[in-house]
Amino acid sequence: MLKKSISRRVLVTGGAGFVGSHLVDRLLAEGDEVLCVDNLYTGDKHNIYHLHNHPKFEFLRHDVTFPLYVEVDEIFNLACPASPIHYQRDPVQTTKTSVHGAINVLGLAKRLQCPVLQASTSEVYGDPEIHPQPEGYWGNVNPIGIRSCYDEGKRCAETLFFDYHRQHGTEIKVARIFNTYGPRMHPADGRVVSNFIVQALQGQDITVYGNGSQTRSFCFVDDLVDGLIRLMRSGPEVTGPINLGNPREFTILQLAQLVIAKTGSSSKIIHAELPGDDPKQRKPDISVAKSTLGWEPGIQIEDGLDKTIAYFRKIVLESAEPWAPPVHAAANIAS
């Protein structure tokens, strides 16, 4: 755990989401006051229910596409749907969340003269032609595809962050988050780890899109949260963008086989058509995170899957109805 000398009041937008709720927990454990803001479009009150009576926790239901008038010392901007199933449901609103949301949190940070961190994504690299992906790579992104609302929205948010930094001197931090997994993922959010675990626990066929040779690198949520806090608490000269992810690379087929082995499932692997704009490779170059933040992931997927499977085993097997992963639940989600 990082050392800290003062108590801060911290705003976390998207704080009721999968990653956001873990970040809120960590900040509270370090003694900070936390204002959790979420419109609950994809966030879930169950993720923060255990904090209901915490003296340093406050929840505000609010959409970041509208201005927010609060007093805080730091801002973590995590507000945006991260699953294709969710962000493609209302693509215009997804772009607004990334762009208008960035403008609003940057305006707040400018007024308060406080640091603001943007949770960006490896999807800014698109279907990369460079592997692994370093921060200096500008990406290979389709600007008019079905995923563009998310990919280009996040790219535009990064532009706004750096323009506010150059034009107004705003202290910014930009983290490019690679595939993250762990407890509190929604069982039907379309992410590859949750899809495979839910299908395996229910004895259903595991759906692999394409031939399964596309690769991803999976970072356990506790490691990611540590990286986000290290980035926020780095000096004002550290702006990023900085990749945060686990560089250990797996094919989607290997992940499916590992989940079957871990769950002891009798599930069979079946193949379906690959969704549009699905990246063939995804692996972070984390040399900047290592040298600048002293950060690298410590939890390997074998251990992280055990914790994630235990979480899903409880909520899926206790559910009265079977969970069904969405159609075309793409295996490439960044966060």
The dihedral built from the CA positions of residue 189, 194, 199 and 205, taken in this order, carries a sign that is positive
Per residue in 258-317, pLDDT tens?
999 999 999 999 998 877 666 788 899 999 999 999 999 999 999 999 999 999 999 877
Counted residue by residue, the chain has a size of 335
Compute the distance between CA of residue 59 and CA of residue 265 in angstroms, rounded to an integer: 39
CATH number at residue 102: 3.40.50.720
Higher-pLDDT residue of 76 and 128 is 76
Per residue in 77-113, pLDDT tens?
999 988 778 888 899 999 999 999 999 999 999 999 9
**pTM recorded for the entire structure:** 0.91
Could you please report the per-residue DSSP string of 61-82? E--TTS------SEEEE--S--
- Does residue 294 lie in a domain region? no
* β-bridge pairing 249-251 and 215-217: antiparallel
- Does residue 313 lie in a domain region? no
Question: What's the pLDDT at 308?
Answer: 97
- Does residue 109 lie in a domain region? yes
Indicate the average pLDDT of the chain. Answer: 91
- Does residue 296 lie in a domain region? no
- Does residue 256 lie in a domain region? no
- Does residue 319 lie in a domain region? no
Establish whether 181 is a catalytic residue: no
Per residue in 210-248, pLDDT tens?
899 988 899 999 999 999 999 999 999 999 999 999 999
Q: What's the domain range around 136? A: 9-180+221-244
- Please identify which of the residues 41, 87, 150, 164 carries the catalytic annotation: 150
Compute the distance between CA of residue 180 and CA of residue 222 in angstroms, rounded to an integer: 9
The stretch 189-194 carries a mean pLDDT of 88
Number of compact structural domains in the chain: 1
- At 69, list the tokens: 């008038």
